[in-house]
Structure 1
Amino acid sequence: MLVAIVVHFALAAVLPLVARRYGRAAFVVGALAPAGTLVYALARAGEALADTPPLETAAWAPAIGLEFTARFDELAVLLILLISGVGTIVLGYYAGYAKVGDHRTAARDSALLVTFAGAMLGLVLADDVLSLYLFWELTTLCSFLLVGGDGLRKRLRQSATQALLVTTFGGLAMLLGLVLLGTAAGTLRISEILADPPGGGVVTAALLLILLGALTKSAQVPFHPWLPSAMVAPTPVSAYLHAAAMVKAGVYLVARFSPAFADHPAWWIPVVGCGLWTMLLGGFRALRQYDLKTLLAYGTISQLGFLMVMLGIGTWMSALAAGTLILAHGLFKSALFLTVGIIDKRTGTRDIRELSGLGGRWRVLTTLTTLALLSMAGLPPLLGFLGKEVALEALLHGGPVDMVACVGVVAGSVLTVAYSLRFLRGAFARKPDVAPPPSVPCGRVMTALVAVPSLAGLVLALAPGLIEPIEAGYADRYGSDPGYHLALWHGFTPPLALSVGIVVAGYLVHRYAGLQRLGGRVPSGLQAQNWYTASVDGLEHVAHGVTGRTQVGSLPVYLGVILTTLVVVPGAGLLAGGVEFGALRLFDNGLQVPLAVLVLAAAVTSLVARRRLTAVLLTGVVGYGIGAWFVVDGGADLALAQFLVETLTLVVFVFVIRRFPPRFTQNREYIPGRWVKAVVAGVAGTFVAVLAVLYSGYTHGMPEASREYIERAEDETGATNVVNAIIVDFRAFDTIGEIAVLAVAATGAASLILARSRKRTGGDGTSDEPGVAEGTDPVGGRDEAEESGDAGAVRSARARDTGPGDGPEPEVTS
């Protein structure tokens, strides 16, 4: 399976080249990767049902335990059927849907769809939390690019950005939850966490954070508005990402962790509660939609809520129902989205108020779409009916919570029947007051591709034994098998009676005009889209406020913010405790004491220096003193680098300040915020000094990296000096970067010297500065005049320095 993931990414890399030459054929070539994966997964499906599923591991940082482990179990097989099966169909369909000659779109979308398929494959196979998060965010990025398209229209950019913000927010929360859960369990392997789930308050917080990621990705209330907005994407993209694959990522995450945490209140209460709310709200909003894709989007939201409810119940029967419904939903919803694509491409509209008479013209497509709608509504003999029957059976034989959930599921199913009839009538029925669109064929190839998922729902319902072992294998993680089997007929049972009542009630809701007008009406204050808009606007307002108060063009403010953060963040961790410090020593070498006194004296003196050159020289003394410390401590290499950098810095400073007045601001009696700056600088300096002294005494064993450096230095690099081995061999790229920095600094210093020399000599060996003899320093002359106290000489030197028309000496504040 690791090879299958790599093949997806490798093929995606070459598809733009294929599209540039062959156009839409790139989609057909791209379909080879998911098609091959599907065949391979089906061939090995029996291994996934074993007690110990196959594992494949690829270590990418073994020294620190980072690796990618693929676990091929029942749940992975179930999701691969959708990811690879529907992915193959959608890519083939896109070859006929895309515009002829639009090679740019074909290159972009074919590569992104195959990349997305590989990311989803890695997501469902990942058995470690870090790899799972990596593939999770890769699907988010692909979705953003596919929804945004070329980005030329504002609506595309807004919809893509909304999907990115919402799902990325959930993904970051999920990452924190996974890390907390892995830390509590003592392992990052998902299978090991589920085999021995940890407990405690940290786990409760971790589960809530993980659920936040799942709810955002699967468009659960109140995070659902991004999914209808994403319908601006091309219909094949919606059929794959927003019906079969991406929105299933959140469902998959819940399905993966539910066997271990289904009885945890922090897990099942949010899952069941949000699932019921989402199922009802999605179905209610779908009743009022006129755009077929938007109608299906709200229907998808409703169905995803149904799946969440069944996974949250956490019993063997509910898990079997969830597995059946996951497969059924992917099949009928992808078929319906592909049907909408045909209608839109052939008629030029998706608005049901403008469609009429398509059922009589496109009889085959109408039949296939009807089968998909019947499966969505839960009517026999289709896979959706099997899933709904198992769900009702699971809820009717449970406790009070299950009965409440059963009432919500029945109400949501009634709405599902109503919007399914709305879709069928709106898309294919003849309307007396609407003129039929021009007669055009629907296309045999595209219709044939719609037939695959539509008829698959029928075949699997007639032969449930093909998929029951996979779904039952997953359900066995929740408990023992009660002896229930998937079948179209179980006799006259309460679930069958409820199914009949659901169909009748759904038909009445569809026919009653008053409910149709009421459907979808949600008060403005309760609309989640308004919440999203208000949240983004509020965040932008806060960002503007913070930026306006911190990015003010003042170096002291910038330094103050940095230093305050330096004190607050590590200081909070230090005060929290948890770090044991060793014994403190005053010094290790007698030479450290005078060097420390020299450095401190130079630092303090530089603060009160009135001349710029004096302050720069004192700063240089600090740097050279630190270099001398390195020599005393045995770090000759570090000392050499410090001396070089300090020398270059000093040269640059000297040539820069020659263009400034020799003294700092004359009036130093009042500087705005002077004492605030002093306090911030003093506290930060004291904190860093104390922290350095404390951590210098921290001896809690040698880090693993340090041990590896010492053990490998002589054998692998031939160096007996470990520091040399690190600089020249182990971290050679860092050294190259540092050399580049030194080269740039030296070039800058040389440029200043040469520029100054050309300005003074005029390029021909003669001075171009008025009143200054060759080889005379005007700034130095001015300094000497000031030091001598000769007022006339001072005025003359200033006149020579500024020149005519230069104006008064500039005031420079610190």
Structure 2
Amino acid sequence: MLVAIVAHFVLAAVLPSLANRFGRVVFLIGAIAPAATLAYALSRAGEAIGGNPPLETLAWAPVIGLEFTARFDELALLMILLVSGVGTVVLCYYSRYAKPDDHRTAARDSALLVTFAGAMLGLVLADDVISLYLFWEITTIASFLLVGGDGIAKRLRNSATQALLVTVLGGLSLLLGLIFLGTAAGTFRISEILADPPSGAMVTAALVLIIVGALTKSAQVPFHPWLPTAMVAPTPVSAYLHAAAMVKAGVYLVARFAPGFADHPAWWIPIVVCGLWTMLLGGFRALRQYDLKTLLAYGTVSQLGLLMVLVGTGTWLSALAAGTLILAHGLFKSALFLTVGIIDKRAGTRDVRELSGLGRQWRFLAAMATLSLMSMAGLPPLLGFVGKEAALEATFHGDPVDLLVGIGVAIGSVLTVVYSLRFLRGAFGTKPDMEPAPAVRCGRFMTGLVAIPSLAGLVLAVTPGLIEPIVAGYAGGFGPAPDYHLALWHGFTPPLFISAAVIVAGLLVHRFAGVQRLGGHVPKALHAQTWYTKAVEGIESVAQGVTGRIQVGSLPVYLGITLVTLVVVPGAGLLSGDVEFGPLRLYDNWLQIPVTLLIMIAAVTAVIARRRLTAVLLAGVVGYGIGAWFVLDGGADLALVQFLVETVTIVVFVFVIRRFPPRFTEDKAYVHGRWAKGVIAGVAGVFVAVLAVLYSGYTSGMPAASREYIERAEDSAGATNVVNAIIVEFRALDTIGEIVVLVIAATGAASLILARSRKRDADDGTDADSEDGTAMVAGGTGGPDGPDSPAVDTPEVRS
């Protein structure tokens, strides 16, 4: 499996270069990786179901325990059937959907789709939380690029940005939750965490954070608007990402952790509540849509809500139903999206108000779409019916909570029947008040690809024994199995009567168009999209306000903010009392006393100095005094660095203050803010001094990395100076990087200075050292009569 993941990324890297030669055929080449992965997974299916799933481990940072572990169990196999199976169909479909001469789009989308397939494969196989998060974010980035396309149209950019912002927010929440959970469990292996689930306040916080990540990825209320807006993406992208793969990531995440935390109230309550709300709202909104893709998008939102309810309920039967419906949903929804792609491409529109008579022209395509719609509505003999019966069996029990959940599922199922009929009539029905669409061919190849997932739903329903070992194996993590099996016929049972009632109610609601027109309307003030827009605008407004008040072009303000942050952040940790300090000594060497007095006198004198040069020199005395401290403590190398830096700083200061008046200028504005600046500077100085004294007596030992540096310095690097060994040997790459950054910065600064000097000379038409002294008046330290005369038009910079 590790080879399969790598193969996806390698193939994705090669596809753009092949697109220039083969055009849209490159999608068929890209389909090789998921097709081979599907075949390999099916050949090893017995190992995944056998109760002892195979593990493959690749250590990529073994010293600190970071590794990628692939675990091929029942849930991973179930998801691979979707990720690789539907991925193969979609890539083949795209080879005809794409324009023959658009090589750029073929190169971009083929590479991104294969990359996405590889990331999803890694996500469902990952058994460590760090790798899971890594692949999670790769899917987010790939989705952003696929939805955004070429980025030329504004609606593409807005939709891609919204999907990115929402899912990245959830990803950050997920990362924090996974770290909390791994820390509480003492391991970052998911299988080990689930084998012995931890408990406590940290675990509760971790579960809530993980749930937020799952809700955002699977478009649950209130994060769901990104999914309908993402329908601007090409239809094959929607068929893969928004039907079979990406939106299932959140459901998969909940399904993966549910066996260990299903009985935790902080886990199942928000999942079930948000899932029911999403199911009902998505189905309700779908009733009012005229665009076929948008209708399917809201239908996807609704069915994802149902899946969340089932995986969050946390029983053996609900897990069985969830696994069945995860597969069924991926099959029928991908087939319907691909159907919409054919309609849009051949008929030129996907608006149900402009379509008529396609069912008579495209009988086979209409039949395949009808099978998928029947599965979505939960009609026999399709896989959706098998899963829906299991869901009703799992939710309608004597427990009041389960009964309430069952009622919500039944109402949501009625809405599913209604918008399924709306899709069928709108796409393929013949409207009496409209002329039939012009006769065009729908394309045998693309229609044949639509038939694959449609007929798969029929075959798996007739032979449920093919998938029952997989979903039952996953459900086994929730406890012993009851006497229940997946089947088209269980006799005259309550779920059967409920299913029949749901179908009849859906037909009646669809029949009475007036009742249907009442549906789908939500006041604009309650639209989640409205709240998303307000949230983004609010964040932007706050950012502008904070930036406008902080980035004011004032050096004292910048220093003040830095010093306040310095006091507040470390001060909070210091006040927590978690650090133990040892006994303090007045001095270690009596020479430290006169050096300290010299530093204090120079610092105080620099503050009250009236001439700029005097203040700079006194500040230099402070720096040289600190260097003397290093000498007294035995740090000759640090002292040398301090002396060099201080010397360069003084030289630079001297060059700079030549451009200023020799004395500090005091005006009312400066005097008015003097006390605030003095308080901030004083508090920060005292805090740093106290912190330095306290930590000089820190006795709780040194970090493990520091001990390793000391122990290995002489043996590994041949150095008796540990600091030099760290800089030159152990962290040589970091040191080289820092040097490169400094060189680049210095080169850039020198280039800007030279460019500005040349421009000024060109504008003035005179040399900077001209005889008439004009340049000296404009930029010197005084007027034309000498350095002590009043300056002419010299800008004053207050410090």
What residue is the counterpart of 2:786 in the other structure? 797
Q: Deviations over 1:584-623 (max 9, x none)?
A: 2333333333333222222222212222222222222222
Aligned pairs for 1:534-553 within 5 A: 534-553=534-553
Partner of 1:431, secondary structure, is coil
- The question of whether the paired residues in 1 share the 8 Å contact of 2:47 and 2:54 is answered with yes
User: CA separation in 2, counterparts of 1:374 and 1:98?
Assistant: 29
Following superposition, the deviation at residue 398 of structure 1 comes to 4.8
The alpha carbon displacement at 1:172 in A equals 1.5
Q: Which piece of structure 1 moves more, 726-735 or 678-687?
A: 726-735
Task: State the secondary structure of the residue aligned to 2:785.
Answer: helix
Whether contact under 8 Å (1:365, 1:447) holds in the other structure is: yes
Letter in 1 for 2:220: Q
Query: Which residue does 1:252 correspond to in 2?
Result: 252
Match of 2:407 in 1: 407
Q: How does 1:731-810 map to 2 (within 5 A)?
A: 731-740=731-740, 768-770=770-772, 796-798=785-787, 807-810=792-795
Q: CA 1:335–1:490 in structure 2 vs 1: closer, same or farther (change >3 Å)?
A: same
Q: How does 1:159-170 map to 2 (within 5 A)?
A: 159-170=159-170
What secondary structure sits across from 2:786 in the alignment? helix
| Per-residue CA distance 1:179-207 (angstroms, 9 max, x = gap) | 22222222222112111111222222221
Show structure 1 runs of 5+ residues with no match.
783-793
CA distance in structure 2 between the aligned counterparts of 1:287 and 1:470, rounded to whole angstroms: 35
Counterpart residue number, 2:318: 318
CA contact (8 A) 1:651 1:749 kept: no
Partner of 2:679: 679
Deviation at 1:239, TM superposition (A): 0.5
Q: How far apart are the structure 2 equivalents of 1:337 and 1:25?
A: 21
* 1:378-393 correspondence runs (5 A): 378-393=378-393
- Greater shift in the superposed pair: 660-669 or 603-612: 660-669
Q: What is the one-letter code of the residue matched to 1:636?
A: A
**Residues of 1 paired with 2:751 and 2:393: CA distance?**
84
Mapping for residues 554-593 of structure 1, pairs under 5 Å = 554-593=554-593
- 1:112-151, CA deviations, whole angstroms, 9 ceiling, x for partnerless residues? 1111111111111112222212211221111111111111
Report the counterpart of residue 416 of structure 2 in structure 1.
Answer: 416
State the SS of the aligned residue for 1:481: coil
Q: Which residue of the partner structure matches residue 177 of structure 1?
A: 177
Is the 8 Å Cα contact of residues 648 and 746 (structure 1) preserved in structure 2?
Answer: no
Task: State the alpha-carbon separation in 2 of the partners of residues 375 and 720 from structure 1.
Answer: 74
Can you list the C-alpha shifts for 1:690-724, whole angstroms capped at 9, x where unaligned?
12222222232332222332333334333333222
Q: Using a 3 Å threshold, how does the CA distance of structure 1 residues 809 and 445 change in structure 2: closer, same or farther? A: closer
1:669 to 1:374, Cα distance in 2 relative to 1, 3 A = closer
Deviation at 1:475, TM superposition (A): 0.4
**CA–CA distance in 2 between the matches of 1:796 and 1:279?**
84
Q: Provide the C-alpha distance between the structure 2 equivalents of 1:587 and 1:8, rounded to a whole number of angstroms.
A: 64
Equivalent residues in 2 for 1:192-203, closer than 5 Å? 192-203=192-203
**Counterpart position of 1:661:** 661
Q: Does the Cα contact within 8 Å between 1:331 and 1:457 map onto a contact in 2?
A: yes
Of the structure 1 ranges 262-271 and 621-630, higher mean CA displacement relative to structure 2 is found in 621-630
TM-fit CA distance, 1:765? 13
**Counterpart residue identity of residue 621, structure 2:** V
In the alignment, which residue of structure 2 is the partner of 1:458?
Answer: 458
Q: CA deviation at 1:157?
A: 1.3
Of stretches 494-503 and 636-645 in structure 1, the one that deviates more from structure 2 is 636-645
Which 10-residue stretch deviates more, 274-283 or 621-630?
621-630
Distance 1:358 1:765 in 2: 81
Q: 1 CA distance for matches of 2:702 and 2:205?
A: 33
Q: 1:89 and 1:645, CA in 2 relative to 1: closer, same or farther beyond 3 A?
A: same
Matched to 2:671, the amino acid is: I
1:210-221 equivalence runs, <5 A: 210-221=210-221
How far the C-alpha of 1:638 sits from its partner, in A, is 2.5
Matches within 5 A, 1:331-730: 331-665=331-665, 671-730=671-730
Q: Give the stretch that moved more between structures: 526-535 or 324-333.
A: 526-535
Match of 1:112 in 2: 112
Cα deviations by residue, 1:437-484 (Å, 9 ceiling, x for unpaired):
222111111111111111111111111111111100110110101121
Q: What SS is found at the alignment partner of 1:702?
A: coil
Partner of 1:787: none
SS at match of 1:244: coil
Deviations 1:401-441 (A, max 9, x none): 11111111111111111111111111011112122222211
Structure 1 residues 303 and 681: alpha-carbon distance in aligned structure 2, compared to 1, 3 A threshold: same
Residues 654/219 of structure 1: CA separation in 2 closer, same or farther (3 Å cut): same
What secondary structure is seen at the aligned counterpart in 1 of 2:263? Answer: coil
- Kept in 1: contact 2:773–2:784 (CA 8 A): no
Query: 1:670: Cα distance to partner?
Result: 5.3
- Partner amino acid, structure 1, of 2:584: L
Structure 1 range deviating more: 541-550 or 437-446 = 541-550
* 2:69 aligned counterpart, secondary structure: strand
Tell me, yes or no, if the aligned pair for 1:770 and 1:800 is still in contact at 8 Å: no
Map of 1:3 onto structure 2: 3
Deviation (angstroms), 1:86? 0.8
Offset at 1:812? 3.5
Quick one: distance in 2 between partners of 1:311 and 1:742?
Answer: 54
Q: CA RMSD in A?
A: 2.8
Distance 1:297 1:751 in 2: 53
Contact 1:120 1:245 in 2 (8 A): yes
CA contact 2:660–2:794 (8 Å) conserved in 1 = no
Residue identity in the other structure for 2:593:
V
Q: Is it true that 1:158 corresponds to 2:158 in the alignment?
A: yes
Q: Is the 8 A contact 1:276 1:409 kept in 2?
A: yes
Residue 563 of structure 2 aligns to a residue in which SS?
helix
Point out where structure 2 has 5 or more consecutive residues left out of the alignment: none
Q: What is the aligned residue count?
A: 791
Question: Following the alignment from structure 2 to structure 1, what is the Cα–Cα distance between the partners of residues 510 and 616?
Answer: 83
In 1, the alpha carbon distance for the partners of 2:381 and 2:740 equals 72
Q: Distance in 2 between matches of 1:479 and 1:336?
A: 36
Structure-1 residue corresponding to 2:63: 63
Read off the aligned partner of 2:14 and give its amino acid letter: V
CA contact (8 A) 1:779 1:801 kept: no
Question: CA offset at residue 361 of structure 1?
Answer: 1.1
Counterpart residue number, 1:23: 23
Amino acid aligned to 1:342: I
Q: Do the aligned residues in 2 keep the contact of 1:148 with 1:233 (CA within 8 Å)?
A: yes
Contact 1:648 1:749 in 2 (8 A): no
Q: Report the CA distance between 1:170 and its aligned residue.
A: 1.6
Q: Please state how far the C-alpha of 1:33 moved relative to its aligned partner.
A: 1.4
Identify the range of structure 1 (55-64 vs 84-93) with the bigger mean alpha-carbon deviation: 55-64
**Structure 2 vs 1, CA of residues 734 and 359 (structure 1 numbering), >3 Å: closer, same or farther?**
same
Distance in 1 between the 2:549 and 2:714 partners? 54
For residues 506-551 of structure 1, the C-alpha deviation after alignment (integer angstroms, 9 at most, x for no partner) is 1111111112211101122322111112222222222222222222
Q: Summarize the Cα distance change of 1:751–1:370 in structure 2 as closer, same or farther, 3 Å threshold.
A: closer
Q: Matched residues in 1 for 2:669 and 2:207: separation?
A: 59
C-alpha separation between the residues in 1 aligned to 2:335 and 2:793?
Answer: 80
Please give the secondary structure, in 2, of the residue aligned with 1:671.
helix
Q: Partners of 2:786 and 2:523 in 1: how far apart? A: 78
Structure 1 residues 581, 51: closer, same or farther in 2, change over 3 A? farther
Distance 1:717 1:414 in 2: 73
Paired with 2:769 and 2:271, the residues of 1 have a C-alpha distance of 82
Measured against aligned partners, the alpha-carbon deviations of 1:54-108 in whole angstroms (never above 9, x if no partner) come to 2222222222222222221111111111111111111111111111111111111
Q: Distance in 2 between the 1:221 and 1:396 partners?
A: 24
TM-score by length of 1: 0.92
Q: Which residue is 1:791 aligned to?
A: none
SS for the counterpart of 2:430 is: coil
User: Aligned partners of 1:798, 1:622: CA distance in 2, in Å?
Assistant: 28
- CA deviation after TM superposition for structure 1 residue 745, in Å: 8.7
Preserved contact between residue 655 and residue 752 of structure 1 (Cα < 8 Å): no
Tell me, in whole angstroms, the C-alpha distance in 1 between the residues paired with 2:494 and 2:482: 18
Bigger drift between 456-465 and 686-695 goes to 686-695
Residue identity in the other structure for 2:786:
A
Q: Are residues 1:297 and 2:297 paired?
A: yes
TM-score (normalizing by structure 2): 0.94
Change (3 A) 1:583 1:502: same
2:197 aligns to what SS in structure 1? coil
Decide whether the 8 Å contact of 2:55 with 2:70 is kept in 1: yes
The residue type equivalent to 1:485 in the other structure is H
